[in-house]
Amino acid sequence: MALAGDLEIFVLVAEEGSFSAAGRRLKAAPSSIARVIDRIEARLGVRLLLRTTRSLILTPEGVTYLSSARRIIADLRETEQSIADQSSPKGRLRICLSLQYGKMFVVPLLREFIQQYPGILLEIIATDAVVDIAAGQADVAVRLGPLPDGLLTARRLGATHKVIVASPGYLARRGTPAVPEDLYHHDCIGFNFKRAAPTWPFRKDGRDYSLPIKGCVETNNGDTEGQLALEGIGIARVCAETVEDAVQAGRLVPILEAFNPGDGEEVHAVFVGGAHTPARVRCFVDYLVGRLCASPAQP
């Protein structure tokens, strides 16, 4: 610590141009400042400052030492700030959550996180659209499905499972499909993302295959998809976890379960990783992993 203090005093003397000016900044006598410089020069065995009656001039060795001293002080301050941030992260944290999954699984966890980290301001972006993390549109995104962007760091939070459901009213009106091909005669609620194919997967007689679906409505998020099914508008293929309560209450009925291929979607927290990842991002992702991976609803 004495060496760090010497470096800071030397930098201040060089920037102020005199012992007296540096002494006023540090509330110290000029003679005590001069003794620090003498000690540094004695330790190095070279002259760093040329004293005149009116100013101080850096020697070539002094210029080199000043540059290194500034870098060392900056590195030390950055290290201290980084360590301090680990215990008390601060700043705005923009998180992107899918509408239904975020509402059911992430939002209920945020109260505890906010209590633990009062210095972090959460900005929640609720959308099923894929935001560009690398371009700075968000700091963390909770994503379902494949991860095409290899530039980002992803940590697994769990997985969801798919189920095909319809309301009792719809089934009473249109009939209950017995085999997947019966869906040709039904209104199936579509997902209109470009990355979503207009097909549903099935398994029959040990063979996996996809069946094109059609209907009278499409949507861009799972929350609306489930609501449309509840309203009796059509048949939906949704995350089983998000309609579990409606199924148990009899408001939705699973169908074609004998042909369910058992597929699902991996859930990940996605962010820009690396050594310079902000502490607020790291602690939020660690928090989600600790809570969601331990949840029975997240196998």
pLDDT of residue 195: 52
Could you tell me if 204 and 288 lie in one domain? no
CATH number assigned to the domain comprising residue 154: 3.40.190.10
Domain boundary among 41, 61, 87: 87
Q: In this structure, is residue 275 part of a structural domain?
A: yes
Range of the domain at 50: 2-87
- Structure confidence at residue 88 (pLDDT): 74
E strand spans, the chain: 49-51, 56-58, 91-97, 120-126, 140-144, 153-166, 190-191, 199-204, 207-212, 218-219, 236-239, 253-254, 264-271
pLDDT-flagged residues of the chain (< 50): 1, 296-299
Per-residue model confidence (pLDDT) at position 298: 47
CATH number at 15 reads: 1.10.10.10
For 254-273, the pLDDT digits (tens) are 999 999 998 888 899 999 88
Q: Are residues 182 and 95 in the same domain?
A: no
pLDDT of residue 148: 66
239 and 218 fall within a common domain = yes
Residue 297 in any domain: the answer is no
List the one residue out of 14, 116, 103 whose CA is nearest residue 57: 14
Last residue of a domain, one of 42, 65, 87: 87
Helix (H) or strand (E) holding 87: helix 60-87
